[in-house]
Amino acid sequence: MTSNLQVRDQLNALQTTARALAAAQLRLTTGKKLQTGSDDPVGARDVMVADGRLRAITQYRRGLESARARIAVQDNVLDQVSKLLTRAQELAVATATDTVDAAQRQTVAAEADELLNQLTALANTKVENDYLFGGHRVSEAPFTLTGSGATVDYTTTGATGDRPVEIDAGRVFVPTDDGATLFLDTGVMDAMRDLVQELHRPATSGHATLRAAGRALTSAFDRVQERIGSLGARSGTLDLVAANLDAFEGSLTAQRSAILDVDVEQAAVDLVSRQNAYQSALLASSKVLGLNLSDYLR
């Protein structure tokens, strides 16, 4: 008679091989080594760490894209500002001569008015719902024109303050300049305003004021070109950070795959081995228990 101990041991062995077979089938079906954390606690922990870092990389990429978008807008704005300044210089030079009469001067003044309006609109450029050059006060237009003609002027909220974005772990980056840097420190707003004011005043002999306005416009233009040049360096920084993030992401993905993903060919071999082991266990059990295989399966 088969002892209870033999029966218990044989059933335990059968259950063990059945579990191993089920696990092998699941690995091949899902393509994953780990189904639960208990399968490999250390590996599961490493996967959780890698997943957290991959999520962080996704967030950093959002910061990179936001920075790139803002740089592109500023680059476009400064390109248009450069064209406005060039045209303003041309007006200053063309008008600083005795051959321009009062009527012609007023025509030029009207065009200069429009240049100043366009410049102010560019200084108040919005990205989504924020004024790009508003500094910390993104909900307020940084520049407002007051008066007209010879008394035209502008007011400003200050337009100061950086707006950094996080582009890597512990690394913040300022992609664009504030309005004070672009439109006040460069002398752009003052130079354009001074030109408009002067064109609306009666012509004076020598045209010294107009020539001074032209020189101020030239200086402002040069400073704007410097700001345009700085954008190229910033774009280069973003490209480098993006490349580093790509490399880190690749490393994390490979690490995660090594822990989680099965070798399909090896998993298939393992499944066959587990099936054979299970069949052997069934046969052994039938002998020990005095049952044939078909009886056991029923």
> Per-residue confidence at 134, pLDDT binned at 50, 70, 90?
very high
Question: How many residues in total does the chain contain?
Answer: 298
pLDDT digits (tens, 9 = 90+) for 151-177: 999 999 989 999 999 999 989 999 999
- Residue 201 to residue 179: CA distance in whole angstroms: 29
Does some domain include residue 43? no
Residues 70 and 179 in one domain: yes
Does some domain include residue 47? no
Does some domain include residue 39? no
Angle at which helix 264-289 crosses helix 4-30, to 10 degrees, equals 160
Residues 15 and 101 in one domain: no
Residues 205 and 104 in one domain: yes
- Residue 275 to residue 61: CA distance in whole angstroms: 47
- pTM for the whole thing? 0.77
Closest CA to 213 of 106, 122, 116, 114: 116
pLDDT digits (tens, 9 = 90+) for 272-281: 666 666 666 6
Beta-bridge mates of residue 156: 143
For residue 28, pLDDT over 90 is answered with no
As a whole number of angstroms, the longest Cα–Cα distance in the chain is 131
Number of domains comprising the chain: 2
pLDDT digits (tens, 9 = 90+) for 237-249: 999 999 999 999 9
Tokens of 68: 């790139």
CA distance from start to end of the chain: 22
Does some domain include residue 175? yes
For residue 14, pLDDT over 50 is answered with yes
- Look at 4-13, 225-234, 246-255 and tell me which has the smallest mean pLDDT: 4-13
Instruction: Tell me what pLDDT residue 22 has.
Output: 60
> Per-residue confidence at 31, pLDDT binned at 50, 70, 90?
low
- Reduced to 3 states (helix: H, G, I; strand: E, B; else coil), residue 131 is strand
